[in-house]
Amino acid sequence: MSSLNLDDFTDLIERPDGGVRRDAEERRERQIVPPGALGRLDDLGEWLAAAQSSSPVRPVERPRVVLFAGDHGIAALGVSARPAGSATELVREVIEGGRPVSVLARRLGVPVRVVDMSLDCEPDTFPPDVARHRVRRGSGRIDIEDALTLEEAEAAFLAGVAVADEEADSGTDLVVLGDISVGGTTAAGVLVAALCGTDASVVTGRGGEAIDDLAWMRKCAAVRDALRRARPVLGEQLQLLATVGGADLAAMTGFLLQCAVRKLPVVLDGVVAAACALVGQRVAFRAPDWWLAAHKSGEPGQAKALDRMALEPLLDQGVRVGEGAGGLLALPLVQAAAALAAELPEKPRIPDVEPGTPDEEPAERAEQTGDAVEGSQAP
């Protein structure tokens, strides 16, 4: 049995400041641009003000991309366009600056942090700042075996909590959360199907690099078989992550919940982040109030999870690559909403007029006019 009590998060997580949100709404009504004219940017600015507990909202000045990395044993069944165990290559490319998230991060001036949780490589393949939270080498093949032991799931979850604390303590004011994995979307699909009570085909997409029809059918079968193993442990979220998740997914779930505890807003990237958020919602129902859906990835599992959490994506650009790229595309929109909410001037106030003055002045003018007309007539 795990010594970790996830129920504690229900008590620790509060909603964003409702009073500050009302202040932000009232401030918005006083600005020169009519409420609603900026569309969702109005809601976005008010959400950010409540999350910051600050009106006017503060600018987002220290965002960060956090990517949890891992390999999944289920990839050995040919459910991904990449070979099993190749997430290590993706991590190396991200670190060296050759992936889409790297390009966007350079352009936007946002640091990228990669956390190795279960890459299929030697522990010393990457520097200690990447590998120090690592739990194991790869995750189990979830159609026939558990992804992790319960102890490993707890260690991964607590690693995510620790990373959230590190980011909050360092002054990060918004996180873009993503994953670097091979086989991760299959595990995510199982979690979403289990928690939403749907069949495998409803949540199974084609992944970041668009697998063909045969690979998609193999992926559906893998999700179906893993789903049978997930259903008996639906009531225990940590056991669910151990059974059909993976070290990276367990860490992302812990990270999301602790960010909500620390009042650190998070932008969710793709289907893996959405699946972990859905697990987090089961743990603490107020937690999704701290999260923002960046974009539609085209993965049906992501759409299902976001709908269940009532999170509406900001963008729809068909970005499937994952790795936080879609989340970074939404960042300028969040920053724009903050700037507009804080910097748009308010409408000029109409000076207060003493009671009776507007009625007296016309009468006085009429009396003066009448006197002048009478005085000008011939006797």
Active site residues: 323
3-state secondary structure of 118: strand
| Contact yes or no for 248/159 (Cβ under 8 A) | no
3-state secondary structure of 132: coil
Amino acid at 159: A
The helix-helix angle for 184-196 and 247-261 (nearest 10°) equals 60
Tokens of 248: 């990276």
Amino acid at 51: A
| Contact yes or no for 273/297 (Cβ under 8 A) | no
Residue 164's nearest CA partner among 255, 64, 69 is 255
Cross-sheet strand order for the sheet of 266-268: 112-118, 63-71, 174-182, 266-268, 291-293
Residue 302's nearest CA partner among 175, 191, 139 is 191
